Amino acid sequence: MQAHAQTDLQKHFKNCNLPGSITIYDLKNNKWTYSDEKDASRATVPASTFKIINSLIALEEGVIKDENEVMKWDGVQRDISPWNADTDMKNAYKNSTVWFYQELARQIGKDKYAAYLKKCTYGNQKLTSAIDRFWLDGSLAISPKNQVEFLKSFYEEKLPFSKRSYEIVKRIMLQEVPENATYELRAKTGWGKVEAQDIGWWVGYVEKKDNVYFFATRVQKPIEITNENFMDCRKEITKKVLTDLNILP
């Protein structure tokens, strides 16, 4: 397996004034590309990128029927307006609705999470903090390289989930299909706050006719430092790098 350091790819992080890295795996050529190989192996909280595996587990355990089953809003007003309504999984995934997945987590329970995370070799598998917080600001941590390894196993359907669960989650992950349909992009953002740091993720994969490219982008900044582009830069950096590498047009 080859690993190619692409130091010039770090320029996009510098342009956003954010430290971070991108890790890419080319399936057809079995090739890894890192903008920062050391950072690619450093684990941090997955935040809402955990919604990928969380959705699979919830479907597999039957705590939610499908992506269209509506869960009643608990009535608590939150800062993000789409969260203040009854919602289903496809919209909870799209809007990163935390309370929706927290309720699923309470129904799933730690023992089942522990078993799935072990079988999926997902992150450090530590579930020592609260059942509805461990992926947000708690004990669970995952590296960009491990994110990509998980996504590859997910794409190839080599994890302990049914065909139906894979199909549903792949549906809700779909973010982009251009008019000429030259690729499909499936992904998930994440934003966590741990030890006075904002941690921003964008992970997913680009499926083309002849190949699949998996990516995990992570940016960080101290919480007290304001950067209005923090949320947008996760995607902007990724797309610029994927374009540089001729993965995206």
Q: Give the CATH number of the domain where residue 204 resides.
A: 3.40.710.10
Q: Work out how many domains the chain is built from and give that number.
A: 1
- pLDDT tens-place string over residues 132-148: 999 998 899 999 999 99
Domain containing residue 74:
2-244
pLDDT at 2: 46
Q: Does residue 89 fall inside a structural domain?
A: yes
pLDDT tens figures, 71-84: 999 999 999 999 99
Identify residue 115 by its one-letter amino acid code.
A
Question: Is 55 annotated as catalytic?
Answer: no
DSSP-derived pairing of the beta strands 183-194 and 174-176: antiparallel
What pLDDT shows up at residue 219? 98
What's the number of CA atoms in the CB half-sphere (13 Å) around residue 127?
A: 17
Handedness of CA 198, 131, 39, 240 (dihedral sign): negative
CA 192 and chain centroid, separation: 12
- 39 lies in some domain: yes
pTM of the model: 0.96
pLDDT digits 0-9 by tens, 169-200: 999 999 999 999 999 999 999 999 888 999 99
Q: Is residue 152 part of a domain?
A: yes
Residue range 31-59, pLDDT digits in tens: 999 999 999 999 999 999 999 999 999 99
Position 175 scores a pLDDT of: 97
CA distance 189 to 219: 11
Report residue 207 CA to chain centroid gap: 16
| CB distance 101 to 92 below 8 Å | yes
Residue 249 placed within a domain: no
Whether residue 159 is contained in a domain is answered as yes
Q: Indicate which residue of 21, 35, 48, 143 is catalytic.
A: 48
* Cα 104 from Cα 58, distance rounded (Å): 7
Q: Is residue 128 part of a domain?
A: yes
Within a domain: 153: yes
